[in-house]
Structure 1
Amino acid sequence: MMDSFPATARDASLVLIVDDVPDNLAMLHDALDAAGYMVLVATNGEAALARAAQARPDIVLLDALMPGMDGFEVARRLKADAGTAQIPIVFMTGLTETEHLIAALAAGGVDYVTKPIKPAEVLARMGVHLGTARRARAQQQQALQARSALDAFGHASLTVRIADGRVLWQTPLARELLRRHLGIDGPRPALPAEITAWMQRQQPTLAQQPEPPRWTLDPGDPPGLGTLVLRLHPPSPEAEESGPGELLLVMREESDLAARETLRQGFGITGKEAEVLYWLAQGKINRDIAEIVGSSPATVKKHLERIYAKLGVETRTAAAAMAMARLPG
């Protein structure tokens, strides 16, 4: 159990060593433990897969040749599982023939060390790959946070595979807009053929276009939907490295309803307060707002008082300015 490690080691990287030879395990375990790593061991492929799924190690040192399930198959299964696919695998092998080394890399290994194992070499190579993996995770997390943050401003983003229009990643708001406007849902839906064809036409010249290409889906059923606008962007550099042939779509529902939802989410106010604030930003006076929202001017005034408190302002001019800053131009 990981709780058996001393507190000072819990922040260290977790290494899974897989080898069917006890002496090899003992030597590497002692060297890594002395270097401050947390260490798990497995003596066969089945145990390696179970430990990797449960503990999610930061790196795997994997023996290539083992009885039963060999290291190549273990690596392929780790890479096929989304939960373990990003874990770097360093093969340990006594095989030096070119085809065996190619097989190790083809199975998902990032590197290999030859037997007899030299602990200093293993530590040096591990350090390189752990650093690379940490940077990749940090970039992924930053990209995820940045894209998800767009939802609060009414912009939904998704990553789409150009070849077939398959959605590979989407924010919660993107999923909701796809469901409402296009009637598609699920973790990895496919966009309609006409949108996919539009993306494919735009892709060759996308980087040279001064503005992101725009696709507009006019309102339809059910009543009350706004206009769905899609803008096509090149992928980020890290997305190009991990999945070439993908593009970023940013969607927005342009309507009074969508604008009010943007204000509600952006400022943490109620739906009615968002409605009042929206019309305030349009230059309406209290009497006009009351007629639009179906309440009295006195009720509108009370809503505005609560809005001012939540926004940290004292005047309708300041509240309107903050609202306009959140809404698209």
Structure 2
Amino acid sequence: MSTENDTSYDVLIIGGGPAGLSAAQMLGRSRRSVAVVDGGEPRNAPAQGVHGFLSRDGASPAELLKIGRAEAEHYGVRIIQDQAVAAARSTEDGFDVTLADGRVIRGRRLLITTGLVDELPEIPGLRERWGRDVLHCPFCHGWEVQDQAIGILGNGPWSVHQALLFRQWSGNITLFLNDLTEPTGDELEQLAARGVKVVAGAVESLRIEQDKLRGVALAGGPEVGVDAVVVGPQVRARLDAFVGLGLAAVPHPMGVGDYLETDADGATAVPGVWAAGNVTDMRAQVLASAAAGAWTAVVINNHLMAEELTADVAAYRESMSVAP
């Protein structure tokens, strides 16, 4: 399918979260033609508010994105509500991206800001409460559950660290080993020293009553009352659309899933393609993802400028060589 004249841009950004919109705003201010393809599936959609974002603390994820879209559009950025399903090298300059509705748009450069998908253990009640009273980051949500009864769901070695970390927000912490976490002798001593209770046995389900988490039920055992549950999900980079470019996720060194590897400026192994935000940095909170998007936009703009400068110098030299 051929592209239309109004579907060719300096930069295509795939992903309309904080990283993508921040990059779009920066590139728009640089007078670049930019399109953002937004599939409408933000990772933090279940959360009630965004925290740790200076001047926007407590704003809902939807409100933050609404503000970000308006700011980007103010600088001429086009927001396309659709899913990118495939990407390939263009027969001309840059990259062709196919959308779910069949349209093809082209960009001289490509920025991937598609984020991650959180994969939670298959425990009844966990997914339903995700982002509400089932949490994972104390810096994002610890303040909201301070001094409450918090259960840490064992899901591997990092669960001990989570228990010790959340102890800073509450003196009532219970680590459920869930047959998946085996603390070392030193770790058991640390947990005891910090007053963290340790409960053996597999977790069967969460008990929810009147739209509120009430407790953790153990398989064949008792129920332990909690107000919030903490779990460390496995994370998966959203990269299906970019297989045709040869891009693939690699295992994260922390053993918590996968990510798209880039250099310090966000450049991928494919020339002309960059990435920013959670798709390449799972630890980045919303503010950090936005900052990464802004910086990567600067790098992309400079990359384009260098290409344009080379072409202009070549054209200038040719014009001087034929001058009378």
- Report the TM-score, using the length of structure 1 for normalisation: 0.25
Structure number with bigger Rg = 1
Write 1 or 2 for the structure with the bigger share of helix: 1
Greater relative contact order, per chain length (Cα 8 Å cut-off, separation 6+): 2
- Report the TM-score, using the length of structure 2 for normalisation: 0.25
Write 1 or 2 for the structure with the bigger share of strand: 2
